Structure 1
Amino acid sequence: MPDTIIKSAADTAGLAISYDDVAGAAERIAGVAHRTPVLTSRTADTLTGGELLFKCENFQRTGAFKIRGAYNAIARFTPVQRAVGVVAYSSGNHAQAIALAASMLRVKATIVMPQDAPASKLAATRGYGADVVLYDRYAEPPDAAVARVLEDRGGIFIPPFDHPHVMAGQGTVAKELIEEVLAGGVQGGGAPLDLLVVPTSGGGLLAGCAVAAKTLNPGCRVIGIEPEAGNDAQQSLRSGSIVRIEPPKTIADGAQSRNVGQLTFTVMQRLVDDIDTVTDDQLVDAMRFFASRMKMLVEPTGCLAAAAVLSGKIDVRGKRVGIVVTGGNVDLGRFASLVAG
């Protein structure tokens, strides 16, 4: 879709990315990342009193939004960088995205992953052609494991969130959603969003989406959602400095980061209105809702934003609300045990 939406320049001076970076990423990933659907649910609207618009990245390539930032970052490698390969760490979705993007761009990929990462994510990462190195996330931070790999093998490191090209790529999620909303491609005609709710871990997606939303839909409030057991982003935003925590115990395996990034936090301070949390039980309720009412398989992390709205943690009565559903990569046995409990 042409970028014809009337924009109001968000205050991104001094930040790691601007809206132009997001727009450039959108051009770079066109034809690679899917333009995922925006779905609605009368049941969800009745339950919450709002008009909910779900941006469904569970239908994205690799099953999550991460291909956007991964491909944008590797596509910008110089010939020398392509020759030495890419190194990344991830519990799964960034791992799969880097592996696939590297394969498409013919770049060698080495991925550091926690030993307890979901089996489906480990298998998919290897299946895309990456070499996987395992580490114990509860015994050491991932950067220590990455440092060993870089020393032993070399490579260009792409972190899962604190990287401008990754952040810009992830921002295309909100760019697409808001373009479709304002163009009248979903229910409610071309009315703008009142609120955008985004799952949050290290802040790459939240930061990128905030830049896009505050530019394309300036009156839209942006709220990040993270697990209650791992509310480092909430603590950081409210205290004014980055708070580091121990690895949180939560079923949202994609949101177990110990702290937000330096680059993402600066954007969050400037453009994010608030960060809230949900419990694991609320995540399971959202998983059940998606499966029973919308016939979608969504992983726990992918349900963070939806859980906050569907549970009533965020009051959306009378509001037009964009909700980012980040992914659907969950082992089927694990999914069944959670929703049947």
Structure 2
Amino acid sequence: MKVGIIGASGYTGGELLRLLLMHPRVKVECATSRRFEEKPLASVHSHLSGFTDAVFENLTPREVADRCDLVFTAVPHGAAMKVVPELVEAGVKVIDLSADYRLPRETFEKVYGMVHIAPMEAVFGLCELHPEVASATLCANPGCYPTGAVLAAAPLVAQGVVERVVFDSKSGISGAGAEPTSATHYPNVAQNVVAYRLTTHRHLAEMRMELSRLFEGTKVSFTPHVIPSVRGILTTAHVFVRESLSSEDIRGYYEAFYEDKPFIRLLDTIPTLSAVRGSNFCDIGFEVEKGTDRIVVVSAIDNLVKGASGQAVQNMNLMSGFDEVEGLWNIPVSP
């Protein structure tokens, strides 16, 4: 199958290329970048040296669609809506890694502060919760924080026993993108933990949307932090429940909810970032606080893989009728 990547020069574009170049059923037909036009992919993504001689191209959406069966759009928020409709109209399947199609139009415009010029129906690409991804034409790849957070809490929320969830997430600095900023400047993040947007992070809208879909009225709060790590998101979910639950009850809920979900690993220990690095796995562990209404659930993902490009490839597999794990079934890199 021929695939293209629009906006292939960033971290998510580079990670898509790393995964797709090794996928047994895929040929990367084109990768676009205006900034790096005609430069070799490996001149920007040096880890690809020896695996491809392709160069970045500056193509219109129609030119990409004419050469591809499926297209990934790895462009900034607000940019995808300018190209996705043309791609879909041309008859190709699209997986959008921006936020442009994750939320209802009114919610998107309120959260992102911009007018959505081309709303379209899309399937939210958290495929552990949305099997309809398999029949999607347009898939909206979830944000990195919502992926780890929603997967951590979903089995309990779906049982209708949750009163409130408070998510506390720690992310590696690659989540901020490849362009240097004060937030990613080494002296500002090294030997430091930085909390930001304490109550107003944009990804909260996705968390509330997905968990409310499982059980209407679930209260959700979220605070993100940046840690001095390149990759990974460790999410601690403080889940407050309406009734007493045993560890056996909870494990049963998780095992049933994620039955036949190959990238969910339910642990007897506390998940760590080093155990998922470079992989599409989401590791989940939990502990019941005795004598209270709190259950602590911890999830770990690689923000560039399960939190972005790996999940996009997982969605591509399902949309294309491939085995869900093809091109993704690898052992994480540890330490």
Which range, TM-score by smaller chain? Answer: under 0.3
Structure 1 or 2: more helix by fraction? 1
Structure 1 or 2: more strand by fraction? 2
When Rg is computed on C-alpha atoms for both structures, the one with the higher figure is: 2
Higher RCO (Cα < 8 Å, 6 or more apart): 1
Give TM-score scaled by structure 2 length.
Answer: 0.27
